[in-house]
Structure 1
Amino acid sequence: MTAFPDSDPTAAQLELRERLGELMAESGITAQRTLVRRILEAGIGLGQDGTARRDLKITAAAIEEMRAAFRLFAPYTDAPKVTIFGSARTQSHDPLWVSAEATARALAEQGWLVVTGAGPGIMEAAATGAGQERSLGVSIRLPFEEAPNAVVAGDDRRVAMKYFFTRKLMLVKESRGFVCLPGGFGTMDETFELLTLQQTGKMEPVPIVLLDRAGGTFWRGFAAFVTEQLAASGMVAVDDLDRVLVTDSVEAAVAEVTGFWRNYDSLRWFGAQLVLRLRAAPSDAELADLNRRFTGLCEVGEIERTGPFSEELRDGDLPELPRIVFTPRRRTVGDLHRLIRALNELESAPA
């Protein structure tokens, strides 16, 4: 028997599917059975393929760790989360530590959960600022340097990962905002991951803050490199950093993360059309002004108000929220971020 796609299954494959269905029923699995079956079929397929032991170990560890991380985050699905990145080597007397702690504290006081890599340095500073009840940690098992900090050392606040790729997934997947402080290869890897996900549209728009020490040049130097080397060489667009705030102000960092969600709530694609869900509908005058300011955003037509699409009604996908819809041009991620900021600044937007 072979694990199989949904098209043209053989009799043996249909038998396997039936037996997996029985196994799921015996295990009490009643929800999302199609997706669970796909996971089971993929595992059986790996065995049938004669997959090498090393590859099987990677797969098994990744699935086990993701399950543990999903269980850690599950009780906090509805809580807004911000991930704070930075160097594990930053000391408690460093102004960057103070800024990370202050940023996390301010966001926690406004109801945010703070997610970190659970290690020392900036991660410990952020967890300390947020406090144990507002902190979640996704640590990495390393042969040296990094151990869980005391704030998130408990198993109920932290999950440990073997692989960086699963760790980065969980540090990014749940969060609605990101604050990156200066750091080494790991921090830069995480920062580039965020920028890549935003640039390619693989992540919904979120606020990204590059927070430096007062008068610091770390992130300004990074922005200069992007502009003078990457953009000048045509490797990225000149506006790819427009969606990022570079600052040395804790207050500005906090305002960027929270203010991004003042009016904008979420988005959903319907073919080539993009729907933005809002907390308050723009007036006729505001909508006309948006179309004037963002004339280059639309491939065809203009930005319009709309009711929920039938799929949104079927899925119960925030049908109560007002919406706008438009057909964006390709490679307009920077314009999309600017549009969201403009929506947040409308007079009709919530205070």
Structure 2
Amino acid sequence: MPRLEFPNGTMKFKFDKSCPFYASDRKIFKSQASDQFTELFERFNNIVILKISGVETTELQTLRRALSNQDSELYSELYVGKHSLSRVSIDGLIRNLKTKIQNSISSVTKQSSQSRDQELVKALTQFKELLVGEIALLFTNCENYYTLCNEISKHVSLKKAKVGSIIKENVFFEGETGALPYMTYIFLNNNITTRIRRGQVVLLERQQILTAGEVCTAEKVRLLDLLKWKVIQERCEPLYLFSKMDACILSNEVLERDYFENCVEAANQMTALSMECSLVNELTIIADIKKGILDLVALDTETQCEMRYKIRKVMPPPVIDNHCYPSDSSSESSEFNDLFDLFF
């Protein structure tokens, strides 16, 4: 144990860094953290970077328990540690991979495994740069990304609003507020119509109290404190997905797009096109999702000829209100031309 020094007249203490035990304990701690990260990296194929800013520790523990069932397909391990120690662990993994590549060059090995290790080194280098801010790492083998994100989004921390807080969802209210009649001015300052019934302030109609994207002012905070509402929702938000098998990093914006529907639609279009042109008799559709682009390959099983399509998802404009949805003004033909591009 490190030697502690107690200054005269105070109860504070500090570590004596000149003591040899301080350095040895620090090395042991770094070694244990590195071993834990390396062990998780070897067990799991995917790592999800979660933003945990504002999320309470109790909610993180609840999330860890919810994903700790080893018999479930959502089984995952939540890792919250110092970024500096995580970078040290990643540097060790990169050194091991580079050593493996050097040894494979001198020996007779498959070129595909060498290129895969090189891609993994590049992906780990990029992954190390993403370890910034209040984040946690979720190690998982779950292949259903959408189900995993839905489970993560269930764990929400509710907090009181402060001046400058941003509202994420629309808030409506109707009925008794429990406020005394002399507090009517608080509602009037927020442009809310009220009535007095049975000695308390009542909202006879359903009225919108807060709007999504609105910045809380002092008057809004006073109203929320009066109603004893906690409207600020803090939850773990997925930011990036690191795939060890594919040696790539994908942002959550790319993964949220529904590529499965696009894949089925593209397969149907390609099959119909080939039938009309009488080019092939039987098609095998292979879909590969990588870096936000769908590369579809139509393979003729008789002649082994390939036709390739590139599909890019066209994102709709952002929705301003929960009840307003963007209109579909483009025709099917123009949408087909935007999504599909034939190349050889």
Fold shared, TM-score > 0.5 on shorter chain: no
Q: Quickly name the TM-score band, shorter chain normalised.
A: under 0.3
Look at both structures and tell me which one has the larger radius of gyration over its CA atoms.
2
- The structure with the greater share of residues assigned to helix is 1
Higher relative contact order, chain-length normalized (CA < 8 Å, sep 6+): 2
TM-score (norm 1): 0.23
